[in-house]
Amino acid sequence: MLLIACPWCGPRDEAEFHYGGQAHVAYPEDPAALSDEEWARYLFFRDNPEGLFAERWSHTAGCRRWFNAVRDTATNEIHAVYRAGEPRPVIA
């Protein structure tokens, strides 16, 4: 079980969190302006890298806040956590 550092509450057991998939996939500004393919890309396509991945987590059994984390999908190491709306930090 991961130990995840909620930016609001500090380190807590993974069991307190819900996973929210890839981060920084914004709801399109004007969905009506998108082609079917562009809309389908927003709906159905997500990255699945081996390595660093910016993803969303929600501290559902804690402060109930959404935040983002950069996790290495190969090692499970979390390199950064940051609040929703903040830019993805650069990981050296």
Partner 1 sequence: MSERSERTGGAAAQPHRREGASGRVLRFRFDGREYEGLEGDTLASALLANGVRAVASSIRLGRPRGVYAAGSEEPNALVQIEEPFPEPMLQATTVELYDGLVATGLPGQGRLADRPDPARYDAVHAHCDVLVVGAGPAGIAAAGVAARAGARVILADERPEPGGSLLGTAETLDGRPGREWAAEEVAALAALPEVRVLRRTTVLGHYDDNHVIAVERRTNHLGAAAPADVARERVWRIRAGRVVLATGGHERFVAFAGNDLPGVMLAGAARTYANHYRVLPGRRAVVFTTNDSAYAAALDLADAGVEIAAIADVRQAPGEAWAARCAERGLEVLTGHVVTAAKGEGEVSSVEVASREGGQAREIPADLLLVSGGWTPVVHLFSQAGGTLRYDEELGAFTPGETRQAVEAAGFARGVRTLRACLEDGAEAGRRALAAAGFAVPAGPAVPSGTAVPSAGEEPAAAPAEHLWLVEAPGDGGDYGTHFVDLQRDVTVGEVLRAVGAGLTSVEHVKRYTTAGTAHDQGKTSGLLTGGVVAHALGVDVAELGTTTFRAPYTPVSFAALAGRDRGPLHDPVRVTAMHEWHVARGALFENVGQWKRPWYYPRRGEGPGEDPGEDMEAAVLRECRAAREDVAAMDASTLGKIDVVGPDAAVLLDRLYTNMMSTLKVGSIRYGVMCRPDGMVFDDGTVIRLADDRFLVTTTTGNAAAVLDWMEEWLQTEWPDLRVCCTSVTEQWATVALVGPRSREVLARLAPGLAVDNDSFPFMTWRDAEVAGIEARVCRISFSGELAYEINVSSWSGLALWEAVMASGEVTPYGTETMHVLRAEKGFPIVGQDTDGTVTPQDLGMEWIVSKKKADFVGKRSFARADTSRPDRKHLVGLLPEDPGVLLPEGAHLVETSALPEPPVPTLGFVTSSYRSAALGRTFALALVSGGRERVGERLYAPVGADLVPVTVTSHVLYDPEGARRDG
Binding site for partner 1 (CB under 8 A): 1-3, 13-14, 18, 20, 26-28, 30-32, 34, 36, 39-40, 42-44, 56, 58, 60, 64-66, 75-77, 84-85
Please report how close the Cβ of residue 61 comes to partner 1 at its closest, in angstroms. Answer: 11
* Residue 63 touches which of Zn ion, partner 1, none (Cβ within 5-8 Å per kind): Zn ion
What token pair was written down for 48?
């699945």
Cα gap 53→24, rounded to integer Å: 11
Query: Per rule CB under 5 A, is residue 62 in the interface with Zn ion?
Result: yes
Are 84 and 59 a contacting pair, CB within 8 Å?
A: no
